[in-house]
């Protein structure tokens, strides 16, 4: 009931082995940072060598080359592969775009083909940003971030020590701390996944009448595949939500286990 397979369909995900040793789904959280560091193939060193921390000119990584000119951008939905990059020959399929004004704070960052990093985004390592993922203006990736393919980290959204499985989206004003978002999960604007109890004690998960200790002081939420949260919802530390569940807008979700297809009002 509480194993990763009860929440996520990750069999085809290239990073599925992160769950191999997890009996309970939240046991993945302390592993994230080291796992990302072990699996990362950094590719921003040449950008940082050129500019330092903050990118001063929009550039493209394509076929292992760093380009500052000779390309044309036609903005569109990144996750649907409608953000077009082309040169005089034709479309540059899989080109990664880093806009001027983005900040890359260290070398432990991998930006995969088709990813777009907008102006004002700030990324710390170790972080992997997946294929055709959209990191929007003002996003803050604090490190220990594994952002799956075709994910959205939106405007003024902060992510820290968290997994976003392919297709997960946090488009506007979200906080994602020590959490996991399942495939095609969507956070309504202003959703907060709080990761620290006010008194800083161990986070426990309530399942029916039983309280299960996690051994974790910082633990936000586990949201299964296709979970949707309404705008301005607050998910309290230690909340575990089964796939295809709905959270109503402006709800403060009590920390507990919620089975698949729950409607939380």
> What is the mean predicted confidence (pLDDT) over 238-242?
98
Catalytic residues: 172
Q: Domain holding 218: CATH number?
A: 2.160.10.10
- The overall average pLDDT reported for the chain is 97
Domain of residue 50, residue span: 4-264
For the chain, percent of residues with pLDDT exceeding 70? 100
What pLDDT band is residue 199 in, cutting at 50, 70 and 90?
confident
pLDDT tens for each residue of 223-233? 999 999 999 99
Contact in structure between 123 and 105 (CB atoms under 8 Å): yes
E strands in 71-196: 72-74, 84-86, 96-98, 103-104, 109-111, 116-117, 122-123, 127-129, 134-135, 140-141, 145-147, 152-155, 158-160, 162-164, 169-172, 175-177, 180-181, 186-187, 192-193
- Res. 109: pLDDT tops 90: yes
Q: What is the pLDDT confidence band of residue 200, given thresholds at 50, 70 and 90?
A: confident
- From residue 265, alpha-carbon distances to 48, 66, 141, 184 in Å are 46, 49, 30, 21
| pLDDT (mean) for 98-120 | 98
Q: How far apart are CA 243 and CA 232, in angstroms?
A: 20
Cα-based distances in Å from 74 to 7, 51, 130, 230 = 37, 24, 20, 31
How far is residue 150's CA from residue 184's CA, in Å, rounded to a whole number? Answer: 9
Give the bridge partners for 241, in sequence order. 223, 258
Domains identified in the chain, total number: 1
3-state DSSP assignment of residue 12: coil
pLDDT, tens digit, 9 for 90 and up, residues 149-197: 999 999 999 999 999 999 999 999 999 999 999 999 999 999 999 999 9
Biggest CA pair distance of the chain? 65
Residue 7 CA to residue 227 CA, distance in Å, equals: 10
Cβ pair 32, 161 in contact under 8 A? yes
**What value does the mean pLDDT take over residues 111-135?**
98
Cα–Cα distances in angstroms (integers) from residue 14 to residues 41, 126, 186, 203, in the given order: 14, 17, 21, 30
Report the C-alpha gap between 89 and 69 in whole angstroms. Answer: 14
């Amino acid at each position: 009931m509480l194993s990763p397979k009860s929440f996520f369909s990750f069999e085809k995900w290239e990073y599925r082995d992160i769950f191999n040793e997890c009996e309970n789904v939240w046991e993945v959280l302390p592993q994230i940072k080291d796992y990302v560091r072990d699996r990362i193939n950094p590719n921003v060193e040449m950008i940082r060598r050129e500019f330092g921390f903050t990118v001063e000119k929009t550039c493209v990584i394509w076929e292992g080359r760093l380009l500052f000119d000779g390309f044309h951008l036609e903005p569109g939905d990144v996750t649907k592969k409608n953000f077009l990059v082309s040169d005089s020959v034709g479309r540059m399929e899989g080109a990664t775009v880093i806009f001027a004004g983005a900040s890359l704070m260290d070398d432990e960052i991998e930006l995969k083909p088709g990813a777009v990093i907008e102006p004002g985004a700030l990324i710390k390592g170790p972080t992997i940003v997946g294929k055709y993922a959209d990191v929007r203006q003002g996003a803050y990736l604090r490190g220990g971030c594994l952002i799956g393919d075709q994910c959205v980290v939106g405007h003024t959204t902060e992510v820290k020590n968290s997994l976003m499985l392919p297709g997960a989206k946090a488009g506007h004003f979200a906080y994602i701390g020590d959490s996991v978002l399942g495939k095609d999960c969507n956070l309504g604007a202003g959703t907060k996944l709080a990761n620290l109890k006010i008194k800083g004690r161990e986070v426990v998960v309530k399942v029916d009448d039983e309280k299960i200790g996690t051994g974790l002081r910082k633990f936000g939420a586990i949201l299964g595949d296709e979970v949707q949260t309404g705008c301005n919802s607050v998910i309290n530390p230690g909340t575990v939500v089964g796939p295809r569940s709905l959270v109503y807008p402006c709800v403060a979700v009590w920390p507990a286990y919620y089975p698949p297809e729950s409607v939380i009002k």
